[in-house]
Amino acid sequence: MASLINKITQFAKSPQGQRAIRQATDKAQQFAKDPKNRAKIDQLRAKLQGGRGGSGGRSL
């Protein structure tokens, strides 16, 4: 298990890993900027925090 974590850490520190992290971050930010997706994110956050997720339904 420790070797797997070490490999992941090494990859994350490599230029390829940094590029992959940057691309994933940019894509996540673009996704979150869409109002429809933002509403879904807010509903899920409220559900996970024990609050009410708007309509009260279980749809996501």
Q: What is the pLDDT of residue 25?
A: 97
Could you give the CA distance from residue 11 to residue 17 in angstroms, rounded to a whole number?
5
User: Which residue has better confidence, 36 or 2?
Assistant: 36
1: pLDDT confidence band, cut at 50, 70 and 90? confident
User: Which residue has better confidence, 33 or 24?
Assistant: 24
Q: What is the pLDDT of residue 2?
A: 81
Q: Where do the domains of the chain lie?
A: 2-51
